Amino acid sequence: GENVEQHPSTLSVQEGDSAVIKCTYSDSASNYFPWYKQELGKGPQLIIDIRSNVGEKKDQRIAVTLNKTAKHFSLHITETQPEDSAVYFCAASKKGDMRFGAGTRLTVKP
Amino acid sequence: DVKVTQSSRYLVKRTGEKVFLECVQDMDHENMFWYRQDPGLGLRLIYFSYDVKMKEKGDIPEGYSVSREKKERFSLILESASTNQTSMYLCASSLLGVVANEKLFFGSGTQLSVL
């Protein structure tokens, strides 16, 4: 089955810097790649997703890139703010069979 | 906004007890899910449901069962709680579509401790 690895497990950046979280997946048939943000005391919330027919997608300060050949995808957050501090999860899905990464705890220091 | 409400934020139960975790969504979503979240393991799917009275096993169904008697409500049942079921439990819902578990809406979670 699909296996998703996520790195790093923790990430600390200074406010205003960029943050990058990377995920790799094992099943080349996976075609949907969402990213979820989980703030303290809340459930995960979808922040951006990408399908395998697209190489990059951007929404304001966040962007996701997908390299199908290498089977990895990344979340990029620019101009980080303290409210970006949270746990971020990537996932890879094939026909509804979705696997999550272990999560990255991002801390943005003011 | 979709609201997924889990009945308890924290629960403490004894080994061997029968435990009910309740979840209600208010957006008429067809699909509902139960996930378990453990540090270093991400989210793992326990059970899901595409319709009333319908259920499908996820990746880790052992020791759990579910009930969906009404469209808006999906219950997770631990028949005989064990200490290794201590975890954060997340309920989610989504619209019926080509792929059921895309664009999930999650509840805030129930932190269950089994002593």
Residue A75 C-alpha, separation from nearest chain B C-alpha, in angstroms: 17
pLDDT for residue A18: 98
pLDDT for residue B2: 64
pLDDT for residue B102: 78
- Tokens at A75, concatenated: 């979340």
As a whole number of angstroms, the distance between CA B113 and CA B96 comes to 33
Longest CA–CA span in chain B (Å) reads 41
pLDDT for residue B27: 86
CB B103 within 8 A of CB A44: no
Q: Encode B5-46 in three state secondary structure.
A: EECCCEEEECCCCCEEEEEEECCCCCEEEEEEEECCCEEEEE
Give B97's pLDDT tier (boundaries 50, 70, 90).
Answer: low
pLDDT digits (tens, 9 = 90+) for A67-100: 999 999 999 999 999 999 999 999 998 877 889 9
Q: What is the dihedral of CA B24, B25, B26, B32, to 10 degrees?
A: -130
A and B: number of Cβ contacts within 8 A = 51
pLDDT digits (tens, 9 = 90+) for B15-25: 999 999 999 99
CB A12 within 8 A of CB A109: yes
List the strands of the sheet with A72-77, edge to edge: A4-7, A19-25, A72-77, A62-67, A56-59
pLDDT above 60 for B98: no
Q: A98 and B41: CB-CB below 8 Å?
A: no
Residue A78 C-alpha, separation from nearest chain B C-alpha, in angstroms: 23
